[in-house]
Structures are given as C-alpha cells and as structure tokens.
Amino acid sequence: MKKNEVPQDKSNLESANFKELCYAVDENGEYTTELSTGWSPKTIALNNAIEALNERISASKQRVKDHKVSPLEYYMELHKMDLPILASYVGIWKWRVKRHFRPAVFKNLNNKTLQKYADVFDITIEELQRTDL
C-alpha cells in the first residue's frame, strides 16, 4: 500500500485519540511507517469480536446466577481467557480447572486453591465466591 493510501477511516482508535502504526511504500519505493486512524473493515471485525465476547460474558454470568457453573467460568470469560490459559496461570491441570467449574466442587475448594484463582483475577476470595454477580 502506498503512503497516501493508508486508511484514515472512523474507528475506536480515533475517538480515543490513538493512531495505529502501518507500513507503506513511499514515493521512492521504500518501506516507511505511517499513522492510521483506522480502517472500517478492521473496525467492523473488532466490534463483532467484542460483541461476541460480551455475549459470552453475559451468558456465563447468567449460568453462575442459575447455579449451573461456578464463578470461575464468569471470571475466566471476563478476563478473556480460555481453559488452557487459566490452567497455566494457576498451575493446575486443565481437567481439574474444568472440574472446578462445577458448583458442588467449587464450594469445597480449600483457601489455597481459591487464592490462586483470586490472584489470577486480581480479586479477593470473597469476591470470587460470590454468585450474585
């Protein structure tokens, strides 16, 4: 893309007064950097992804309120994690973390395990145990 063709469309970057660094070809055919305020196809894709994440968070929140899953699932979704990432952060096998999503199992976790989860989510154990999110 040529330097004068770098997109300058409306985006969330522009409203936050940020610019994205892009590579473009200058008049001499050399690669150079150029700032962009956004590109509408990229903005649409990002907005769709954020909307999908928010839907997953809302669905998880409702499952916690219905006592179908433990609050771990909600906080995992809220922090944009998946099971393997959460498991690696807390240092617990994936199958055990998945088991901790069950309310009956979560209720019986010891404070040491709960503290590992609370540290990852940067909350207290009391906040982690709340089901009235």
Q: Is the pTM value of this prediction over 0.85?
A: no
Say yes or no: 12 and 74 in one domain.
Answer: no
Say yes or no: 56 and 101 in one domain.
Answer: yes
- CATH code at position 91: 1.10.260
Say yes or no: 50 and 34 in one domain.
Answer: no
Indicate the number of domains in the chain.
2
Say yes or no: 96 and 125 in one domain.
Answer: yes
Tens-digit pLDDT profile for residues 18-61: 888 889 999 999 999 988 888 888 888 988 999 999 999 999 99
N- to C-terminal Cα separation, the chain: 47
Strand partners, 38: 8
Say yes or no: 55 and 118 in one domain.
Answer: yes
**Domain range holding 20?**
3-38
Tens-digit pLDDT profile for residues 54-89: 999 999 999 999 999 999 999 999 999 999 999 999
Rounded CA-CA distance 97/112 in Å is 14
Say yes or no: 59 and 124 in one domain.
Answer: yes
Say yes or no: 19 and 53 in one domain.
Answer: no
Say yes or no: 16 and 58 in one domain.
Answer: no
Say yes or no: 86 and 59 in one domain.
Answer: yes
Helix (H) or strand (E) holding 34: strand 31-36
